[in-house]
């Protein structure tokens, strides 16, 4: 009987991916140490720097090679400041007035625990590009195009970091799929605490979740049997925001385009891909309004729709005789 129960639990684990990731790469103390969330951003910036250096060295951007480091620094500031402010303003406005007696004292500054908006980060980078371009005598549209081309890798790593942190859950799978969830579905042990009824049940669930995150295979199997399966939102958005968006930009920039064209294509492509992927994400803010053809509209969906409109307008308004930049097609020797 025990063998049958163990085999059943192993089968269950094979059907869904159970989240048991530790947000720390390693711990110096119980609450301090390098986190995968920060490492993912660092990796995204390294990949962006490598692509940017190639663009500058091969003359595919008006940015001079000696300015690559400075430009990446400006982009980092734009991503961090814009991403954090975007998250606060869109999803957690109450933390504007949340202070504590421990570092970093103001909750807005607690970015090490997560909470970054990709829409806000993109806005921050656009502003940083405009300021940097004017300070260095470069057309702002050309710099925004350059930044757009190096962005998808960072977006992808950011979504994978969301998975490590156990945030931005996907929506529940349909009831018909819950009995035998597919291999690509995911389960979050912490949901067992939310589903527990009494205080005693919550205490038991919390102990079970703690054991699961400690790596106990039996606890993982037991908690997986308690929680429903969800769409793998983090992996869906990592794929759409990363490889799929990059493919769109490569196709658009296969040959040189007027400055501003790639920026518009980025906004349209990212907005449309986010609109589609948000259909599988559990809303983390109140639904703003409902539109029968589109379903429930949340803040990310609304912002994505606005990005598509703005991107289309940018493409339409690009000057016909404007500067040609880019072109990733191999050049003849």
Whole-number pLDDT of residue 187: 96
Closest C-alpha among 118, 138, 140 to residue 128? 140
Overall average pLDDT of the 45-74 stretch? 94
Lowest mean pLDDT among 117-121, 286-290, 318-322: 286-290
Predicted confidence (pLDDT) per residue in 150-179, tens digit:
999 999 998 999 999 998 899 999 999 998
Whole-number pLDDT of residue 333: 63
pTM of the model: 0.84
Lowest mean pLDDT among 47-51, 52-56, 321-325: 321-325
- Domain extents in the chain: 36-168+231-325
Report long-range pairs for 305-308 (Cβ below 8 Å, ≥24 apart): 305/271, 305/275, 306/271, 307/119, 307/267, 307/268, 307/270, 307/271, 307/274, 308/267, 308/268, 308/271, 308/272, 308/275
What secondary structure does DSSP assign to 135-179, as a single string?
Answer: HTT--HHHHHHHHHHT-HHHHHHHHHHHHHHT-SPBPBPPHHHHS
Give 289's pLDDT tier (boundaries 50, 70, 90). very low
| Rg for the chain, CA atoms, rounded | 22
Predicted confidence (pLDDT) per residue in 187-243, tens digit:
999 999 988 877 778 898 999 999 999 989 999 999 999 999 999 999 999 999 999
What sign for the dihedral angle of Cα 96, 98, 99, 102? negative
Length of the chain: 333
Kindly state the percentage of the chain with pLDDT values over 90.
Answer: 54
Overall average pLDDT of the 1-23 stretch? 59
Lowest mean pLDDT among 113-127, 185-199, 262-276, 308-322: 113-127
């Amino acid at each position: 009987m025990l063998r049958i129960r163990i085999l059943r639990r192993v089968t269950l684990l094979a059907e869904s991916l159970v989240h048991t990731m530790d947000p720390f790469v390693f711990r110096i103390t119980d609450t301090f140490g390098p986190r995968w969330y920060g490492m993912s951003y660092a990796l995204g910036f390294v990949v962006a720097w490598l692509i940017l250096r190639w663009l500058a060295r091969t003359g595919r951007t008006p940015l001079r090679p000696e300015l690559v480091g400075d430009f990446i620094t400006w982009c980092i500031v734009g991503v961090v400041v814009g991403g954090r402010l975007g998250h606060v303003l869109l999803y957690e406005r109450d933390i504007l007035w949340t202070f504590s007696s421990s570092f970093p004292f103001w909750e807005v500054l607690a970015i090490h625990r997560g909470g970054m908006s990709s829409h806000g980060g993109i806005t921050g980078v656009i502003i940083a590009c405009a300021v940097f371009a004017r300070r260095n005598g470069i057309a702002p549209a050309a710099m925004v195009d350059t930044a757009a081309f190096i962005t998808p890798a960072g977006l992808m790593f950011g979504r994978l970091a969301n998975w490590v942190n156990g945030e931005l859950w996907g929506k529940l799978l349909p009831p018909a799929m819950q009995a035998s969830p597919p291999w690509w579905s995911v389960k979050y042990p912490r949901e067992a605490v939310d589903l527990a009824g009494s205080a005693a049940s919550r205490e038991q669930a919390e102990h079970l979740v703690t054991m699961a995150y400690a790596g106990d295979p039996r606890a993982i199997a037991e908690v997986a049997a308690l929680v429903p399966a969800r769409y793998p939102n983090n992996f869906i958005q990592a794929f759409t925001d990363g490889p799929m968006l990059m493919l769109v930009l490569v196709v658009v920039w296969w040959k040189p385009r007027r400055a501003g064209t790639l920026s518009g294509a980025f906004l349209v492509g990212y907005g449309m891909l986010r609109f589609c992927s948000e259909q599988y994400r559990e809303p983390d803010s109140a639904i703003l309004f409902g539109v029968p053809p589109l379903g429930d509209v949340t803040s990310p969906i609304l912002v994505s729709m606005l990005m598509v409109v703005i991107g289309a307008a940018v493409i339409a308004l690009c000057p016909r005789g404007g500067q040609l930049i880019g072109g990733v097609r191999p050049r003849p020797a």
